A = this chain, B = another copy of it.
Amino acid sequence: MARLVMKFGGTSVGTVERIKNVARKVKREVDAGHEVAVVVSAMSGETNRLVDLVSDMSSLHDAREYDVVVSSGEQVTTGLLSLALQDLGVSARSWLGWQVPIKTSAVHSAARIEQIDCSEISKRFAEKQVAVCAGFQGIGSDNRITTLGRGGSDTSAVALAAALEADRCDIYTDVDGIYTADPRIATKAAKLDKITYEEMLELASLGAKVLQTRSVEMAMKHRVKLQVLSSFEDLPGTLVVDEEDIVEHQVVSGVTYTRDEAKVTLQQVADRPGVAALVFGALADANVNVDMIVQNVSEDGKATDLTFTVGQKEITQALSVLDKLKGEVACKAIVPDSDVVKVSIVGMGMRSHAGVAKTMFAALAEKGINIQVISTSEIKVSVLLAEEYTELAVRTLHTAFGLDAA
- Judge whether B72 and A75 touch: CB under 8 Å: yes
A213 close to B (CB within 8 Å):
no
Interface pairs A-B: 7 shortest CB-CB = A68-B79, A69-B79, A72-B72, A58-B83, A65-B79, A16-B56, A65-B82
- Judge whether A80 and B53 touch: CB under 8 Å: yes
A144 close to B (CB within 8 Å):
yes
Task: Name which of A91-99, A151-159, A389-397 contacts chain B.
Answer: A91-99
Tell which of B19, B73, B86 touches A62, judged by Cβ atoms closer than 8 Å.
Answer: B86
Tell which of B56, B71, B84, B98 touches A98, judged by Cβ atoms closer than 8 Å.
Answer: B98
Using CB atoms, name the residue of chain B closest to A80.
Answer: B57
A78 close to B (CB within 8 Å):
yes
A116 close to B (CB within 8 Å):
no
Docked Cα-Cα span, A62 to B98, in Å, equals 21
| Given A16-B57, A57-B19, A69 contacting B76 (CB threshold 8 A) | yes
Describe A's contact surface by its main secondary structure.
helix
Sample of 8 A–B contacts (CB below 8 Å)? A16-B53, A54-B79, A54-B80, A65-B94, A68-B75, A68-B76, A72-B72, A98-B98
Residues of B close to A53: CB separation below 8 A: 16, 76, 80
Using CB atoms, name the residue of chain B closest to A74.
Answer: B72
Docked Cα-Cα span, A143 to B101, in Å, equals 11
Residues of B close to A72: CB separation below 8 A: 72-73, 75-76
The size of the chain A interface, using a CB distance under 8 A, is 38
| Given A68-B94, A83-B57, A50 contacting B76 (CB threshold 8 A) | yes
A184 close to B (CB within 8 Å):
no
A66 close to B (CB within 8 Å):
yes
A337 close to B (CB within 8 Å):
no
Residues of B close to A73: CB separation below 8 A: 72
Using CB atoms, name the residue of chain B closest to A67.
Answer: B79
* Least distance between A14 CB and chain B CB atoms (Å): 12
- Judge whether B62 and A144 touch: CB under 8 Å: no
Residues of B close to A99: CB separation below 8 A: 143-144
Residues of B close to A96: CB separation below 8 A: 68, 145
Docked Cα-Cα span, A64 to B76, in Å, equals 12
Taken residue by residue from 223 to 242, chain A's Cβ proximity to chain B (1 for < 8 Å, 0 otherwise) reads as 00000000000000000000
A221 close to B (CB within 8 Å):
no
A61 close to B (CB within 8 Å):
yes
Using CB atoms, name the residue of chain B closest to A62.
Answer: B86
A339 close to B (CB within 8 Å):
no
Using CB atoms, name the residue of chain B closest to A84.
Answer: B57
* Least distance between A44 CB and chain B CB atoms (Å): 14
Docked Cα-Cα span, A84 to B65, in Å, equals 10
**Chain A, range 31-80, C-beta contacts under 8 Å to B:** 50, 53-54, 56-58, 61-62, 64-69, 71-73, 75-76, 78-80
A291 close to B (CB within 8 Å):
no
Residues of B close to A323: CB separation below 8 A: none
Residues of B close to A98: CB separation below 8 A: 98
